Amino acid sequence: MSICFLFPGQGSQRPGMLKRLPRHPATESTFRQASEILECEMSELDSEEALESTVAVQLSLFIAGVAVARVLEAEQVIPAAVSGLSVGAFAAAVVCGSLPFADGITVVKQRAQLMESSFPSGYGMAAIVGLTEHKVAELVNNFYEQSAPVFVSNINAPRQLTIAGSLQGIEKVAVAALKCGARKAERLHIAVPSHCPLFQAVAETLQETLKKVNVQKPAIPYMSNVTARPLRTAGSVAEDLANNIANGVRWHDSISVLVELGTDVFLEMNPGNVLSRLGSEAFPHLRFIAMEDTSHAYVSRLARKNLIP
Transcribe 98-132 into DSSP letters.
SS-HHHHHHHHHHHHHHHHHH--SSEEEEEEESS-
Strand order in the sheet with 160-166: 150-157, 160-166, 123-129, 184-187
Residue ranges of the chain with per-residue pLDDT less than 70: 1, 305-309
pLDDT value at residue 268:
98
pLDDT value at residue 217:
98
Domains of the chain: 3-118+197-304 (3.40.366.10), 123-187 (3.30.70.250)
pLDDT value at residue 306:
65
pLDDT value at residue 307:
52
- DSSP label of 269: P
pTM: 0.94
**C-alpha span between 234 and 216 (Å, rounded):** 5
pLDDT value at residue 126:
97
DSSP 3-state assignment of 84?
A: strand
pLDDT value at residue 304:
74
H or E segment at 44? none
pLDDT digits (tens, 9 = 90+) for 182-235: 999 999 988 899 999 999 999 999 999 999 999 999 999 999 999 999 999 999
At position 97, the amino acid (one-letter code) is G
pLDDT value at residue 309:
45
Nearest to 86, CA basis, from 226, 280, 267: 226
